[in-house]
Amino acid sequence: MPKISISKSIIIKASQEKIKEFLADFHNWKNWSPWLICEPEAKVDYAADGKYYKWEGKRVGSGEMKVIEETDSKIDYDLTFLKPWKSEAKVYFEFEEKAEGTKVTWLMDSSLPFFMFWMKKAMITYVGMDYERGLKMLKEELEEGKIHSELDFVGKTTFEGYDFIGVRTETTFTGIGEAMANDFTKLHDYIKENNIEAVGVPFSEYRKFNPVKDKVVYVAGIPVKNKENELRDGLFYDSLPKSNIATVRHTGKYDHLGNAWSALMMMDRSKEIKKFKKGFPMEIYISDPTSTNSEELIVDISIPVV
């Protein structure tokens, strides 16, 4: 059985005791769980003392989890998945006092069914990303009493398409934020300097998206009305075709955009939607980050569907 081990950490400005008490009661998990946020209507049942819960849903599958042992610096859990396949895992939270707060480490030891050995690297990568998303939300929940991430499951709509000025970039996942900031600054400056009329909000179209290899290739673009004869600085004209899309709208900090991406991937796996294989997923930036509070930013995550 291919073994899987995951460990992710974050510093939370709260006492070790407060964090431990919060995580030892599953009633507190629904708001910050990186999976349950993707399916609010999933059925969740808790033991009265909060030490056990079970879940069932289209996207999140089904399973159960229970607290096994609690010490001052650690909580141990048993985790059992029933769907989409049966497996078991040992999950731990470890706590360590630091000058700036409490270091919280989320760990999991598990294994894949033997016939899924080829998915080991992908599972470690994607579950690791889930853990990172979950820890960020846990931090906000404990420090601010609110998680700045809301999902609106818009569903299937028609995307009308448009012409745009764009720039193509290849980068890593850790470098994507800085790369996009530079690309959109270049695009906005060029449009302003050349008096080009923009007719829509900025977007990013992801041509390649491979977290396992830490590689992203995207096109950043701004819809425009008229085309010029020549462009400079690596910019180009192109068009997005009319298509059917499925959309999840995210309101909140860009740090949590992964929640909307994860929800769409879960919807695809559960066959709620069927991706159009020749199309590319997009982020459409409804709000202007230069004039909108980070907690109120709106981004549509969309994928072409049949």
**10-residue averages of pLDDT along the chain (306 residues):** 88 97 96 94 96 96 97 96 88 96 96 64 88 97 96 95 95 94 94 91 95 94 82 88 96 95 94 92 95 96 96
- Judge contact between 26 and 46, C-beta under 8 A: yes
Chain segment 44-55, per-residue pLDDT in tens: 999 999 999 999
Contacts of 151 (CB under 8 A, 6+ apart): 37, 38, 40, 248, 249, 250, 259, 260, 263
State the CATH architecture for 3-146. Answer: 2-Layer Sandwich (3.30)
- Mean residue pLDDT of the chain comes to 93
Q: Can you give the residue ranges of every domain in the chain?
A: 3-146, 154-304
270-284 pLDDT, tens digit each: 999 999 988 999 999
- Does the domain spanning 154-304 belong to CATH 3.20.80.10? yes
Read off the pTM: 0.92
- In angstroms, the Cα distances linking 182 to 162, 169, 268 are 23, 10, 32
